[in-house]
Amino acid sequence: MSQSSVFESLDSGSSESESAESESSESGPSDFGCSDSESRDSGARASATLGAPSAETHLDGAAVIGLGAVTAFGWTSADLRRGLATGTTTVREPVEFSTAGHRTALASEVSAGPEPSVALGDRVGWNRLSRADQFAVVAAREAWAASTVADWVDPCRVGVFFGGSTAAMAEAEGFFGQTLKNDGPRPRLRSLESQQLNGPGDAVARELGVSGPVVSMSSACASGALAIEAALEALRSGEVDVAVAGGSDSLCQMTYAGFNALRAVDPERSRPFRVERSGLNLGEGAGVLVLVRAESLKQNRDSVVAPMAWLRGAGGSCDAHHMTAPHPEGAGAAASMRAALRDGGLEPLAASFVNAHGTGTPHNDSAEAAAIADVFEDGLPVTSVKGAIGHLLGAAGAVEAVATVLALSDGAVQPTAETKGTRTEIQQTGTLEPGVDLVLGAPRVLPAGADRVGVSNSFAFGGANASLVFSTSPVCGPTL
């Protein structure tokens, strides 16, 4: 969508909302044991009542005006875009630590990064940052520069919302390992500076020089997506005008050993939604989006870049089922997707594709497949980036949100990495999870000339579920 047409849509939506009357309807029980209003209160909050939302609700999203990513494909979102389009994988034997004694010797590891003088400004010392901090800061700087918001925004009106689960755990492992050896110089205490989970978000705020709220989320593998949802709520409430939202995590021995102990990892490269799948591959990196309120976008139309996409809605749920296993019928996952669609004022048939959580574990993929079939009865193209870049844990939802925006912007859904067998062999042998229209081999082109909507899922231990809905237009249908 061109910049002029974006503002035409915004102006049209604003004039309609001034004259529209809000309508409400009684809420009946949902499929997941709570009423629509209860579901909204618990994870899919919105400023409008449920039922048929007014035109104002349709503009209650946020514009995505900057992207940044660090993955095993490289240290930019352009590297991620190119890599995902090829359908190849970055999973290989890691070099940062030994995998001896584990059932798997694979991970998706980020290679050596840019020189500190290139990666950073003057506010943050590169050597004082943990690996997760470095990923976060580089991704945030890329997104921030692309957004051009520094030209007009008040730094006090910019919030940072970040998810993660490991922070400086790798650095802590090195510190205590060296201390216990007691055969060399004592490690420096400053290597523990970023041990707290708020380390990456705080580092981003310092580097960008923004002084609005900094919110750090840690809810296992849903953390990055939940941080983006928190950013959307802050923008809707008027607490901030611009949000820097995302997540960052680095590989470390503790999580690697933990997932091996759970037998949740695949000794081979992971195969999301394949019937012979046997687990995930861990990864690392960061993803960042710069989000802006529609009102701020209109007020600064002469200096703002055209949005790449719109964050239309977000929703969450909890399986309340098991510490690590998902609800076997995908009930919580389905509730999360429905909540996100409702939050954006959209019917399920408005969706164009699903960027699935798609870990490659037997239980997750079968539960998610059931949930997708339940919500989208006519079927949708499905992809999972985890076969290409591994499972980034607390950063997964953020990087996959970036991938979803790239798919919408490019008009094509990235293929799931083919780690074993060609596309033809996979289709002919019937080795896909039943009912899943998995994108394989090459990007799947989305229909031209239509508003496109992508749903991005992130599901976590403890049954925490989060879904995000992105679109190419601030107002698109079919709506509720």
32-69 confidence digits (pLDDT tens): 444 443 433 333 333 322 233 334 444 588 999 999 99
Minimum mean pLDDT range among 97-106, 134-143, 245-254, 345-354 = 97-106
**Residue 417: which pLDDT band, with cuts at 50, 70 and 90?**
very high
* Residue 39 pLDDT: 39
Once rounded to an integer, what is the mean pLDDT over residues 408-435? 78
Q: Is residue 66 a contact partner of residue 396, using CB atoms and an 8 Å limit? A: no
Non-local CB neighbours of 464 within 8 Å, separated by 6+ positions: 219, 220, 222, 226, 316, 318
Q: Stretch 453-463: mean pLDDT, rounded?
A: 93
Mark whether 241 and 343 lie in a shared domain.
no
Q: Clarify whether residues 143 and 254 are in a common domain.
A: yes
- Write the CB contacts of 9 (distance below 8 Å, at least 6 apart in sequence): 1, 473, 474, 475
Report strand pairing: 464-471 vs 453-459. antiparallel
Q: Residues for the chain: how many in total?
A: 480
Integer Cα distance of 403 and 355 in angstroms: 8
Are 281 and 319 contained in the same domain?
no
Residues whose CB falls within 8 Å of the CB of residue 382, separated by 6 or more in sequence, listed in order: 273, 353, 354, 356, 358, 372, 436, 437, 438, 439
411: pLDDT confidence band, cut at 50, 70 and 90? very high
Mean per-residue pLDDT for 391-395?
96
CB 395 within 8 A of CB 289: no
Residues 352 and 388 both lie in one domain: yes
d(CA 376, CA 399): 24
Instruction: Kindly compute the dihedral angle of the four CA atoms of residues 170, 175, 176, 181, in this order, to the nearest 10 degrees.
Output: 120
- Both tokens of 372, joined, read 């997708």
pLDDT for the residue numbered 43: 35
- Say yes or no to pLDDT of 364 above 60: yes
Any idea which of 136-140, 261-265, 426-430 has the lowest mean pLDDT? 426-430
Please, what is the average pLDDT of the chain? 84
172 and 82 in a common domain? yes
113 and 250: one domain?
yes
pLDDT at 178 over 90: no
**What pLDDT band is residue 123 in, cutting at 50, 70 and 90?**
low
For residue 33, what pLDDT is reported?
45
Domain assignment present for 297: no
pLDDT confidence of 343, banded at 50, 70, 90? very high
**SS3 per-residue string spanning the chain:** CCHHHHHHHHHHHHHHHHHCCCCCCCCCECCCCCEHHHHHHHCCCCCCCCCCCCHHHHCCCEEEEEEEEEECCECCHHHHHHHHHHCCCCCECCCCCCCCCCCCCCEECCCCCCCHHHHCCCCCCHHHCCHHHHHHHHHHHHHHHHHCHHHCCCHHHEEEEEECCCCCHHHHHHHHHHHHHCCCCCCCHHHHCCCCCCHHHHHHHHHHCCCCCEEEECECECHHHHHHHHHHHHHHHCCCCEEEEEEEECCCHHHHHHHHHCCCECCCCCCCCECCCCCECEECEEEEEEEEEHHHHHHCCCCCCCCCEEEEEEEEEECCCCCCCCCCCCHHHHHHHHHHHHHCCECHHHCCEEECCCCCCHHHHHHHHHHHHHHCCCCCEEECCHHHHCECHHHHHHHHHHHHHHHHHHCEECCECCCCCCHHHHHHHCCECCCCEECECCCEECCCCCCCEEEEEEECHHHEEEEEEEECCCCCCCEC
Q: Above pLDDT 90, what percent of the chain?
A: 61
Question: 92: buried, middle or exposed (CB in 10 Å: 19+, 13-18, 0-12)?
Answer: middle
Residue-wise pLDDT tens digits, 88-111: 999 999 988 899 989 889 999 999
* CB burial readout 8-23, b (16+ within 10 A) else e: ebbeebeeebeeeeee
pLDDT of residue 30: 42
The pLDDT of 386-403, averaged and rounded, is 97
Report the distance separating Cα 201 and Cα 133, nearest Å. 8
Residue whose token pair is 């216990």: 180
Are residues 57 and 90 located together in one domain of the fold? no
Domain end among 244, 261, 290 = 290
Active site positions, annotated = 221, 357, 391
Q: Would residue 476 count as lying in a domain?
A: no
Asked if pLDDT for residue 369 goes beyond 60, the answer is yes
Q: Is residue 304 part of a domain?
A: no
Same domain assignment for residues 44 and 68? no
Q: Which residues pair with 242 in a beta bridge?
A: 158, 292
Domain boundary among 232, 259, 290: 290
Q: 53 and 73: one domain?
A: no
Is 290 a residue whose pLDDT tops 90? yes
| Rounded Cα distance, 180 and 165, in Å | 25
pLDDT at 175 over 70: yes
The token duo for 5 is: 């047409």
Examine the pLDDT at 19 and tell me if it is beyond 90.
no
Whether the ω angle into residue 478 lies within 30 degrees of 0, i.e. cis, is: yes
Residue 224: inside a domain: yes
Query: Is 273 inside a domain boundary?
Result: yes
Where do we find the tokens 């496109």?
A: 452
- pLDDT bracket for residue 177 (50, 70, 90): confident
CA angle 106, 109, 115 (to 5 degrees): 160
Provide mean pLDDT across the span 233-259.
95
Q: Which residue has the higher pLDDT, 290 or 36?
A: 290
**Domain for residue 428, yes or no?**
yes
Specify if 355 maps to a domain.
yes
CB hemisphere CA count around 26 (13 angstroms): 2
Total domains present in the chain: 2
User: Does a structural domain hold residue 27?
Assistant: no
> 261, 290, 319 — which closes off a domain?
290
Instruction: Give the pLDDT confidence score for residue 5 in this predicted structure.
Output: 59
Res 53: pLDDT:
37
User: Which CATH number fits the domain that encloses residue 349?
Assistant: 3.40.47.10
pTM: 0.86
Mean pLDDT of 200-206: 95
**Are residue 107 and residue 139 in the same domain, yes or no?**
yes
Q: Which pLDDT band holds residue 7 (cuts at 50, 70, 90)?
A: low
Residue 310, both tokens? 């719109």
Q: What is the pLDDT of residue 55?
A: 40
Q: What is the pLDDT of residue 323?
A: 82
My answer on whether 225 and 180 are in the same domain is yes
**How far apart, in whole angstroms, are the C-alpha atoms of residue 12 and residue 22?**
17
Instruction: Tell me the residue type at 219.
Output: S
**Boundaries of domain holding 359:** 3-21+32-62+309-471
Task: Please tell me the least confidently modeled range out of 32-41, 72-81, 357-366.
Answer: 32-41
Q: Are residues 211 and 356 in the same domain?
A: no
Given this model, what pLDDT does residue 229 score?
97
Note the pLDDT of residue 37: 39
Q: Mean per-residue pLDDT for 254-280?
A: 91
Residue 149 has pLDDT above 60, yes or no: yes
Question: Which residue did the predictor score with more confidence, 306 or 50?
Answer: 306
Between these two residues, 429 and 255, which has the higher pLDDT value?
255
